[in-house]
Amino acid sequence: MSDATIEVYETEGRRFPPLPEFAEASLANDRSLYDEADADLETFWARQARELLTWDQDFGQVLDWQLPFAKWFIGGKLNVSYNCLDRHVEAGRGDKVAYHWEGEPGDTRTITYADLLDEVSRFANVLKGMGLEQGDRIAIYMPMIPELAIAMLACTRIGVAHSVIFGGFSPDAIVDRCDDASARMIITADAGFRRGAPSALKVNVDAALDAGAATVENVIVVNRCDTPVEMTDGRDHWWHEVVAAASPDCPPAPLDSEHLLYLLYTSGTTAKPKGIMHTTGGYLTQVAFTHKYVFDLKPETDVYWCAADIGWVTGHSYIVYGPLVNGCTSVMYEGTPDTPRESDRVGDDRSQWSKDRLWDIIERYGVTQLYTAPTAIRTFMKWGTAEVQRHDLSTLRVLGTVGEPINPEAWMWYHEHIGAGQTPIVDTWWQTETGGHMITPMPGVTTTKPGSACHTIPGVTAELVDDDGKVVTNGGGYLTISQPWPSMLRGIWGDPQRFQETYWSRFPGRYFAGDGARLDDDGYLWLLGRVDDVMNVSGHRISTAEIESGLVDHPAVAEAAVVGASDDTTGQAIVGYVILRGGNDASAELGEEIRQHVATKLGPIARPRSVFIVPDLPKTRSGKIMRRLLRDVAEGRGLGDTTTLADESVVEAIRAGAAAGDEN
Ligand code: PRX
């Protein structure tokens, strides 16, 4: 990892200018963290755990590793909400702003650490009052409002595990997740503001509870948008009413380091999402460590902004737990970047709306770190720089990106136009399963290359392996993690066997992330995307199997195949191929209806970009669908080798249809 010597380099046939220098000395401005971790991984993480967190009871053994099951900081006891709130208030920082929250219409709230502690304690008492106990699970289905963070922290205060369900998901997703986790409660809102209008949530909860989710006893509803909702007597409660009646005094429960903190469901290669389990001490240690060093945090003065949604792991780790445990001030924003404040909006024509909401927020709050996704950066590039130039972004010190490989062009645009050619960019590779950052440059230590996530963080060891599991030190391979790390997933809820099979069986002894990567001559890692049947759409993992089951759920569909086709803005886009049941005629209307069916069943993010109605699907002689060919068709490429096809005319027919614009 001798990266300081590289000055100019070529990537994708382009030469890039000399690398950015860092104006200020950073926290990790030498290699001592790497040296310490290299010397002894457990000692390194134990020091971080003790320095960054406050423990009610110190731990003894650092790591118990019974592959693939890890336990970290054994015997230690701590409380997450105490670490995120009470200790900052006790240290006299109660008046410090935890969140500058901004609603999409332009309404704002300033929430201090003392405010947050008060609200979290009250809400924890509400949960207790409704009979929730340590070890229970509840679901949270909310817009990006402060009550979402309050609900999560209240759970941690009393040892209840939360399962946050992204607000864009459908009633079916709520049922599946509540059933899998036996969730006893759902916390929701009437609606949240999105794209200039309220987007309903409570109706989806009602539909879910009509269809299943039988373990849910109570529903708590925040009145965010004042839209009419039905409240079921005895089951549904208004947040503001139950909180007003609750005491603000709720002592934090000292919990075992391995106590279940949360479940977060993620797509795998089958249709059934996996409940990824994260626990208390190890998760909080790595999230605190990475939030501090990767963003080069100066908690006294920084205004940090992670523009993700709390419905995904990025928001869990880097909007809620990381920033709060480190006592910093964050921005939280409810809506989409192309929605101006209500007061700034001229008319209803979206195409006329200004597209500078992000830059406006950065300027108004003086944001110092911006953390967003390549898909957003590519959208900003399309919008052009005029909107950016109207704003003073000079407070920005560190820029981050996450969710998918970032192309060097987007990296350079981000660096030049948002970072004024000065600001380091941290391209952070990690996953729901890893809990926190794993591979990323460290400001002040790593010399970056546009488009490369560079190296593992101190205390994490990644290796590429070939098909036979042999370590690859130069060139392409499968990304594996070869040592346990504190914030690693502890399992899949209710399915230890699937945990073992999914992550630990392909390469024995190694965690297989499902991504391909390349190591260049300088030892830099370049992430190449998923190698399994999981698509990455706007930084969100969606399995092909999940969409296929949504397609065949439509009564007119007999068989379906889904591929992720590359897309300039979203990284990948969902493309479906369907064979109709007898008696149905192909038409543009039917194609549209099928697309909509998937959106209704799985949520709007799962809506395919296109659905092709085809007479047959290309299969091998053993009956396996040849997705590669479908991807080639979707991306308009030549077909390459088709000799293993059972019926070669099938692809030609599909391709002829696609070329003739049969896309529905
Ligand atoms: O394929 C990788 C991609 O996103 C996957 C993880 O998705 P998820 O669990 O939803 O978490 C997203 C946010 C952490 C990975 O397997 N991915 C994430 N970050 C990067 C990335 N690919 C390339 N570069 C990244 N920085």
pLDDT the model gives residue 20: 41
Query: Over the chain, what is the mean pLDDT?
Result: 90
Interatomic CA distance for residues 591 and 612, integer angstroms: 7
Considering the domain architecture, whether residues 92 and 190 belong to the same structural domain is answered as yes
User: Ligand 1: distance of its center to the CA of 555 in Å?
Assistant: 34
Q: What is the mean pLDDT of residues 649-659?
A: 70
Helix ranges (DSSP H) in 393-495: 408-413
Considering the domain architecture, whether residues 89 and 212 belong to the same structural domain is answered as yes
* pLDDT tens-digit series, residues 545-564: 889 989 999 999 988 999 99
Best probe residue, ligand 1, of 166, 404, 478, 526 (max atoms within 8 Å of C-beta) = 404
pLDDT exceeds 80 at position 652: no
The answer to whether 268 and 503 are in contact (CB under 8 A) is: no
- The closest residue, in CA terms, to atom 24 on ligand 1 is 405
User: Ligand 1: distance of its center to the CA of 431 in Å?
Assistant: 5
Interatomic CA distance for residues 122 and 257, integer angstroms: 24
pLDDT exceeds 70 at position 1: no
pLDDT the model gives residue 605: 86
pLDDT exceeds 60 at position 2: no
> Parallel, antiparallel, or unpaired for β 274-279 and 303-306?
unpaired
The domain of 630 spans 533-659
pLDDT the model gives residue 29: 57
Q: How confident is the model at residue 463 (pLDDT cuts 50, 70, 90)?
A: very high
pLDDT the model gives residue 270: 66
- The closest residue, in CA terms, to atom 5 on ligand 1 is 431
Q: What is the CATH number of the domain that holds 611?
A: 3.30.300.30
Q: How confident is the model at residue 185 (pLDDT cuts 50, 70, 90)?
A: very high
Considering the domain architecture, whether residues 505 and 604 belong to the same structural domain is answered as no
Written as six digits, the tokens of 562 are 């889904």
Give me the number of domains the chain comprises. Answer: 2
The answer to whether 68 and 503 are in contact (CB under 8 A) is: yes
Best probe residue, ligand 1, of 430, 437, 488, 532 (max atoms within 8 Å of C-beta) = 430
| Long-range contact set of residues 411-415: C-beta below 8 Å, sequence gap at least 24 | 411/450, 411/451, 412/16, 412/450, 413/377, 413/380, 413/381, 414/377, 415/20, 415/450
Q: How confident is the model at residue 657 (pLDDT cuts 50, 70, 90)?
A: low
Residue 526 lies in a domain: no
Domain boundary among 515, 543, 565: 515
| Strand extents, DSSP E, 323-453 | 329-333, 369-372, 398-402, 425-428
Ligand 1-lining residues (CB < 6 angstroms): 266, 313-314, 402-405, 427-432, 453, 513-515, 527, 529-530, 536, 540-541
pLDDT the model gives residue 274: 94
* pLDDT tens-digit series, residues 591-616: 999 999 999 988 888 999 999 898 88
User: Ligand 1: distance of its center to the CA of 29 in Å?
Assistant: 26
Best probe residue, ligand 1, of 401, 431, 488 (max atoms within 8 Å of C-beta) = 431
Cβ neighbors of 228 (< 8 A, separation 6 or more) are: 190
The answer to whether 433 and 503 are in contact (CB under 8 A) is: yes
Q: How confident is the model at residue 28 (pLDDT cuts 50, 70, 90)?
A: low
pLDDT the model gives residue 102: 98
Give the least confident one: 153-157, 284-288, 330-334, 601-605: 601-605
Give the least confident one: 19-33, 209-223, 387-401, 435-449: 19-33
Considering the domain architecture, whether residues 354 and 394 belong to the same structural domain is answered as yes
Ligand 1 closest atom vs CA 530: 1
CA distances (Å), origin 649, targets 247, 542, 558, 619: 71, 30, 20, 11
pLDDT the model gives residue 6: 41
pLDDT the model gives residue 640: 59
Residue 524 lies in a domain: no
pLDDT exceeds 50 at position 575: yes
Considering the domain architecture, whether residues 101 and 161 belong to the same structural domain is answered as yes
Give the least confident one: 2-11, 47-56, 579-588: 2-11
Best probe residue, ligand 1, of 478, 515, 533 (max atoms within 8 Å of C-beta) = 515
- 3-state secondary structure (DSSP) of residue 268: coil
Q: What share of the chain in percent tops pLDDT 70?
A: 92
Instruction: Provide the residue count of the chain.
Output: 664
pLDDT exceeds 50 at position 14: no
Q: What is the mean pLDDT of residues 136-157?
A: 98
pLDDT exceeds 80 at position 182: yes
Q: Which residue bears the tokens 């910093």?
A: 328
User: Ligand 1: distance of its center to the CA of 482 in Å?
Assistant: 18
User: Ligand 1: distance of its center to the CA of 402 in Å?
Assistant: 7
CA distances (Å), origin 141, targets 2, 164, 189: 46, 6, 8
Helix ranges (DSSP H) in 320-476: 322-325, 357-365, 374-383, 386-389, 408-413
Considering the domain architecture, whether residues 193 and 248 belong to the same structural domain is answered as yes
Interatomic CA distance for residues 607 and 522, integer angstroms: 41
Considering the domain architecture, whether residues 210 and 118 belong to the same structural domain is answered as yes
Cβ-in-10-Å burial (0-12, 13-18, 19+) of 270 comes to middle
User: Ligand 1: distance of its center to the CA of 330 in Å?
Assistant: 23
In the Cβ-directed half-sphere of 134, how many Cα atoms lie within 13 Å?
11
Q: What is the mean pLDDT of residues 577-590?
A: 91
pLDDT exceeds 60 at position 264: yes
User: Ligand 1: distance of its center to the CA of 526 in Å?
Assistant: 13
Considering the domain architecture, whether residues 555 and 415 belong to the same structural domain is answered as no
Considering the domain architecture, whether residues 605 and 505 belong to the same structural domain is answered as no
The answer to whether 520 and 526 are in contact (CB under 8 A) is: yes
In the Cβ-directed half-sphere of 41, how many Cα atoms lie within 13 Å?
12
User: Ligand 1: distance of its center to the CA of 446 in Å?
Assistant: 20
Q: What is the CATH number of the domain that holds 237?
A: 3.40.50.12780
Ligand 1 closest atom vs CA 540: 10
* pLDDT tens-digit series, residues 48-76: 999 999 999 999 999 999 999 999 999 99
Residue 2 lies in a domain: no
Q: What share of the chain is helix, strand, coil (3-state, %, to 5)?
A: 30, 25, 45
Considering the domain architecture, whether residues 505 and 541 belong to the same structural domain is answered as no
Ligand 1 closest atom vs CA 312: 10
| More confident: 347 or 128 | 128
pLDDT the model gives residue 267: 78
pLDDT the model gives residue 643: 58
Q: Please tell me whether the peptide bond between 484 and the residue prior to it is cis, using omega within 30 degrees of 0.
A: no
pLDDT the model gives residue 400: 97
Q: How confident is the model at residue 644 (pLDDT cuts 50, 70, 90)?
A: low
Considering the domain architecture, whether residues 31 and 134 belong to the same structural domain is answered as yes
Interatomic CA distance for residues 295 and 298, integer angstroms: 9
pLDDT the model gives residue 7: 41
Written as six digits, the tokens of 631 are 């991807």
Residue 520 lies in a domain: no
Q: What is the mean pLDDT of residues 385-411?
A: 94
Best probe residue, ligand 1, of 290, 456, 527 (max atoms within 8 Å of C-beta) = 527
Interatomic CA distance for residues 2 and 5, integer angstroms: 7
pLDDT the model gives residue 457: 96
Angle at 204 between CA 198 and CA 205, to 5 degrees: 115
User: Ligand 1: distance of its center to the CA of 430 in Å?
Assistant: 5
Residue 481 lies in a domain: yes
Considering the domain architecture, whether residues 553 and 479 belong to the same structural domain is answered as no
Q: What is the mean pLDDT of residues 573-600?
A: 92
pLDDT the model gives residue 449: 87
pLDDT the model gives residue 448: 85
